[in-house]
Amino acid sequence: MGRIWIVALMAVLALGGEDLKVKITEDLPYVDVEVNGKIVRIQRIQDTNHKLRNSYIRTSRPAPPFYVQRFQPVEGVETIGELELLDFLQKKVNLDEGLLIDARMPQWFKQGTIPGAVNIPFSLFYSNRYTDRILSHLGVKIENGKRDFSNATELVIFDNGPWCQQAVREIKNLVQLGYPKEKIHYYRGGMQYWQILGLTTLKPE
Amino acid sequence: MRKIVVALIMGGLLAWGMSDKELAININLAGKQRMLTQRMAKDLLMVVAGIKSQEAKEDLRSSMELFDRTIKGLMQGDKGLGLVASKEQNVQEQLKKVYSLWLPFKERVERILSGNYSKEDVAYIKEHDLKLLEEMNRAVGFLVESGKASKAQKAQAINLAGKERMLTQRIAKDLLLLHLDPNSKEAKADLQESMALFERILKGLQHGDKELGLAPTQAPWIVAELQRAQEMWEEFKARVQKAKSKEDLAKLMEMSDALLAQMNKITKMYEAIYNRRKKIASINSIVNEFVEEKEGQKHVINLAGKQRMLTQKMSKEALLAALNQGSQQNLGQLRSDMELYDRTLQGFKKGDAELGLSATTNPEVLAAIQQVEQLWNPFKEHVERFLAQGSVKDLGYIVAKNEELLKRSNDLVQTFKRAYPTEGLMDESRREIVDIAGRQRMLTQKMTKEKLLVMLGVNPEENKRKLQETIALFDRSLHDLIHGNQERLLAKPSNKAIIQQFRKVETLWKQLKPLYEKDQLSDAEKELLMKGNVLLLKEMDKAVVLCESATEY
């Protein structure tokens, strides 16, 4: 995992966007996002011989719980890919109009996440003690125990990938609490697809 | 003007009673009021000069209404605008001062809008717009200062970017004043000062300005907008030099509005960064609290599980001491295990910071603790007497009662598990693994105790049967932990470190199992078993810790 970051960092230091060999799309070499007062550049690993060496090279995990998730596990919640996520980072997250949520348990999150993501573990929404406190930071107004979702923040939620159920559980919990489905997007590829494409990951401080 | 800017930076820092988001909204809207003072004066002059007078009138009305609503909102709160009334006395006093200046100003604006106005009304606006601006600026300063130090610096970018909006309108107003009176020295000086300040702040926002309290902007999307503002500004400046006709002036008014819109966009971007940082910090703090609570619960279940093991370990140590097997060492270990069991049990009830336990208030848990105490208190007395006198009677009590204590200790583990709800299949499965692996620790001690009882000839048949059951249970559980068992919710580990640790336990177990099963042991075998048993417990404990803490099982 460490090697990936070093490679990504070296690539950022060595190359400007125009010089990148491996761009995200023809017109998009990279995307910048603000993380803790610093600008982090998301781009692809430039070494075309690079291979993953972390646990995301695994094809199979014990099931249960690691069953493959449906493409659209919750009706009404849109499933998105990497480009839509990057677009969301640029147009929503950077302008505080949306939140990218890593729904995994903190020990996963600490090993590396998508730059710009905030960790809200799926299991938190099983606890009444924390639910409303978190919702109040997602644009939900809570008055006299009633939740008003009319100004709820737009969310993109992800986890380890299509074999992981943490994001789906979080989405289901949020929908059950009344969060508008149209305000939630599911990045099904998760950390596995993100890293398979050589996109920058970040170890939270 | 410069004095005001520096005062903003140097001002004392007071306690703050608003949320961070509310602070940012208040600073932004209070800052916008400064712009409105100049925009109204500019609109008025456009009406007087006959430049786009109808549009200017409409703009003047909406600026007046917005200023009026915002000043009231800043004083009393306004949900629609997202404003919360400040609790700071100096802010409130300053806002009242602004309001008392605003009322006669507003009266004149209304008269001008109705078309029924005098020269004096126009003169009043021209004379008082800067005073209104100055007092409004002071209110913004109090708002910025009343934030904490870290907030203040971040708020400064919002404040100064917002101030640029005002300057666009002030410059436009000065240009109109000069059009109406080309010889006005005051207007000329104010125009020069405003343009210089606009330029300095714009530069400071891009490259930093220590005196103004500005760090260079790093966010590329804001840098791009600042560069766009710079280009617009350069174009505006060039046109100011060449402006001669009324049409030139009308074009400059348009350009100043475009620059205002651009600076407004930039201010909102700074505000977004500020709000996002604060939002993430708040979310992180809640998540940390949640994680600490969950870790605490796991820790409690682990310690409760260890208590089960201690009941068997204490019995084993008492028997070893009675058999004269390393008596002093075993007696010493027995004392410390008794003290640990007692302290942990008290810790569950009253809390123990050193053990990482907080006092429980759950009635079901308290009842289960009481059940354990009813057995533990006399058990402890017998252990203490055994330690002091080494009497067979006390040893007999320990042997007779340890399994009942084990059962009640296990009931307490299950009560804790019920008290801390699980979060779905994954968490439930991991908890089951930790519980079963934790129980294995107890079984290592239980089977050793049973072996010793057989060796001592205490109820040999019954203890032999029990020993076989314990061996079988240890065997089966170790197999399920290594290979997984869906029915028992035990996932097969895929984590290399966990697999290796279980294999280590398995290897050790393969060496010890025949010794537990053998009827007669030589002295060397007895020693091997006693040493091996301690090692087995140690390695099993390592496996429990790994099962509990590994990211991926």
Looking at the fold, whether B235 and B342 belong to one and the same domain comes out as no
Domain range holding B497?
Answer: 425-553
Q: Which residue of A has its CA nearest to B20?
A: A137
- CB contact (8 A) between residue B283 and residue A126: no
Q: What is the pLDDT of residues A11-27, one digit of tens each?
A: 444 445 668 889 999 99
pLDDT of residue A10 exceeding 70, the answer is no
Measured between alpha carbons, how far is B283 from B463 in angstroms, rounded to an integer? 56
Distance between start and end Cα atoms, chain A: 15
- CB contact (8 A) between residue B273 and residue A96: yes
Q: Which pair of structure tokens corresponds to residue B408?
A: 């009640």
Backbone φ and ψ of B205, nearest 5°: -65, -35
Looking at the fold, whether B337 and B214 belong to one and the same domain comes out as no
Contact A152, A140 (CB under 8 A): yes
Q: For B72, left (φ over 0), alpha (ψ -120 to 50), or beta?
A: alpha
Measured between alpha carbons, how far is A45 from A33 in angstroms, rounded to an integer? 17
Looking at the fold, whether B484 and B386 belong to one and the same domain comes out as no
Contact B355, B343 (CB under 8 A): yes
Q: Which of B421, B449, B479 is the last residue of a domain?
A: B421
- B552–A contact, CB cutoff 8 A: yes
Looking at the fold, whether B80 and B154 belong to one and the same domain comes out as yes
> Is CATH 2.40.30.10 correct for A2-196?
no
- CB contact (8 A) between residue B290 and residue A62: no
Alpha carbon B10 to its chain centroid, in Å, reads 30
Q: Which pair of structure tokens corresponds to residue B368?
A: 């289960």
Looking at the fold, whether B353 and B208 belong to one and the same domain comes out as no
- CB contact (8 A) between residue B272 and residue A38: no
Domain holding B527: CATH number?
1.20.120
Task: State how far residue A79 is from chain B, nearest Cα, in angstroms.
Answer: 23
Q: How would residue A1 be classed by pLDDT, with cut points 50, 70 and 90? A: very low
pLDDT for res A16: 58
Q: Domain count of chain B?
A: 3
- CB contact (8 A) between residue A39 and residue B276: no
Looking at the fold, whether B354 and B469 belong to one and the same domain comes out as no
Residue B550 domain-assigned?
yes
Looking at the fold, whether B393 and B469 belong to one and the same domain comes out as no
Residue B318 domain-assigned?
no
- CB contact (8 A) between residue B220 and residue A39: yes
A25: β partners: A28
Strand positions, DSSP E, B348-481: 351-352, 357-358
Q: Which pair of structure tokens corresponds to residue B350?
A: 């009253």
Q: Which of B257, B285, B313 is the last residue of a domain?
A: B285
Q: What is the DSSP letter of A116?
A: T
Residue B150 domain-assigned?
yes
Task: Label the pairing between strands B351-352 and B357-358.
Answer: antiparallel
Looking at the fold, whether B341 and B463 belong to one and the same domain comes out as no
Query: C-alpha angle A153/A158/A161, rounded to 5°?
Result: 165
| Start-end of H helices in B243-326 | 246-322
pLDDT for res A18: 62
Distance between start and end Cα atoms, chain B: 64
3-state secondary structure of A76: coil
Q: Split chain B (553 residues) into runs of 10 and give each run's mean pLDDT.
A: 33 38 69 77 80 84 88 87 83 92 91 84 86 87 66 64 79 82 84 88 90 88 95 91 84 88 90 90 94 87 92 94 79 95 96 92 95 97 93 92 95 91 65 87 94 90 94 95 86 89 96 93 90 94 88 77
Looking at the fold, whether B169 and B234 belong to one and the same domain comes out as yes
Average pLDDT over residues A27-45: 94
Looking at the fold, whether B6 and B126 belong to one and the same domain comes out as yes
Alpha carbon B178 to its chain centroid, in Å, reads 54
Q: Which long-range CB contacts under 8 A does B188-195 form with residues at least 24 apart? A: B190/B130, B193/B1, B194/B167, B194/B170, B195/B171, B195/B237, B195/B240
Residue in A64, A95, A111 nearest the CB of B425 = A64
Task: State how far residue A126 is from chain B, nearest Cα, in angstroms.
Answer: 6
- CB contact (8 A) between residue A127 and residue B491: no
Contact B72, B106 (CB under 8 A): no
Q: For B208, left (φ over 0), alpha (ψ -120 to 50), or beta?
A: left
Q: Which residue in this structure is represented by tokens 């009497």?
A: B391
In the predicted model, what is the mean pLDDT of chain A? 90
- CB contact (8 A) between residue A38 and residue B289: no
- CB contact (8 A) between residue B279 and residue A137: yes
Q: Which of B421, B436, B469 is the last residue of a domain?
A: B421
A39: β partners: A34
Looking at the fold, whether B256 and B336 belong to one and the same domain comes out as no
pLDDT for res B315: 94
Contact B4, B138 (CB under 8 A): yes
Looking at the fold, whether B54 and B181 belong to one and the same domain comes out as yes
Total beta-carbon pairs less than 8 A apart between chain A and chain B: 95
pLDDT for res A35: 93
pLDDT for res B213: 83
With beta carbons under 8 A apart, name residues in chain B contacting A166.
426
Do you find a cis peptide bond into A65, omega within 30 degrees of 0? yes
Domain ranges of chain A: 2-196
Q: Which residue of B has its CA nearest to A63?
A: B491
3-state secondary structure of A148: strand
Instruction: Transcribe B493-552 into DSSP letters.
Output: P--HHHHHHHHHHHHHHHHHHHHHH-SS--HHHHHHHHHHHHHHHHHHHHHHHHHHH-S-
Average pLDDT over residues A52-74: 88
Task: State how far residue B270 is from chain A, nearest Cα, in angstroms.
Answer: 9
Q: Which residue in this structure is represented by tokens 């290796």?
A: B500
Measured between alpha carbons, how far is B444 from B544 in angstroms, rounded to an integer? 14
Measured between alpha carbons, how far is B380 from B398 in angstroms, rounded to an integer? 9
Contact B128, B173 (CB under 8 A): no
Contact B415, B409 (CB under 8 A): no
Q: Which pair of structure tokens corresponds to residue B277?
A: 């940082």
Reported ipTM: 0.91
pLDDT for res B264: 87
3-state secondary structure of B129: helix
Measured between alpha carbons, how far is B9 from B77 in angstroms, rounded to an integer? 26
Length of chain B: 553
Q: What is the pLDDT of residues A145-198, one digit of tens each?
A: 899 999 999 999 999 999 999 999 999 999 999 999 999 999 999 999 999 999
Backbone φ and ψ of B209, nearest 5°: -155, 105
pLDDT for res A33: 96
With beta carbons under 8 A apart, name residues in chain A contacting B426.
65, 165-166
